[in-house]
Amino acid sequence: MANFSERVRDGRAYMKKWPAQRVLAPMFPENRVIAATTLAMKTMPAIAVLTVILPFSAGMHELLPQAVMMAMVVFLMPLHGLFWLGQRANTHLPRSLASWYRELHEKLAEAGVQLAPAATQPRYFELAEALNAAFRRFDKSFLVDD
């Protein structure tokens, strides 16, 4: 079992690797989680600072302990999304998706795309790599069964 920091690092890598394609949104929650995590990474630090500054500037010093705790919770929210993405990246694909991954990997190899050998027990991270390569090489028609 990997530790928290490894999962967060894996989540960052997965977030960068996952193709930001709208056609994937109905099939996978990654698009929504990545969008929410990206937004949280941009906004939550400022909200955390405001959570502490506002009661302090208003002279409500008795609220500072609660404000500091709330600021910590708000500040750490993006880590939840990164951790989820790291967990997802390291999760093995269900059988149906694993067979689809192998078919996609085969199509890419036939098209001359250089990829690492197909994983015997593919994870979502390998699927993201294959999807990324497929969207670069093909149009969206590869998502439709022939």
Tokens describing residue 124 = 């979502």
> How do the pLDDT tens digits run along the chain, 146 residues long?
579 999 999 999 999 999 999 989 999 999 999 999 999 999 999 999 999 999 989 999 899 999 999 999 999 999 999 999 999 999 999 999 999 999 999 999 988 888 888 889 999 999 999 999 998 888 766 666 54
- Tell whether 100 and 69 lie within a shared domain: no
My answer on whether 56 and 111 are in the same domain is: no
Kindly report the pTM of this predicted structure.
0.86
pLDDT of residue 112: 87
DSSP assignment letter at 145:
-
Q: Residue 108: which domain range?
A: 92-139
Cβ distance 112 to 79 under 8 Å?
Answer: no
* HSE-up (13 A, CA, CB side) for residue 119: 17
Look up residue 112 and give its DSSP letter: T
Residue 146: inside a domain, yes or no? no
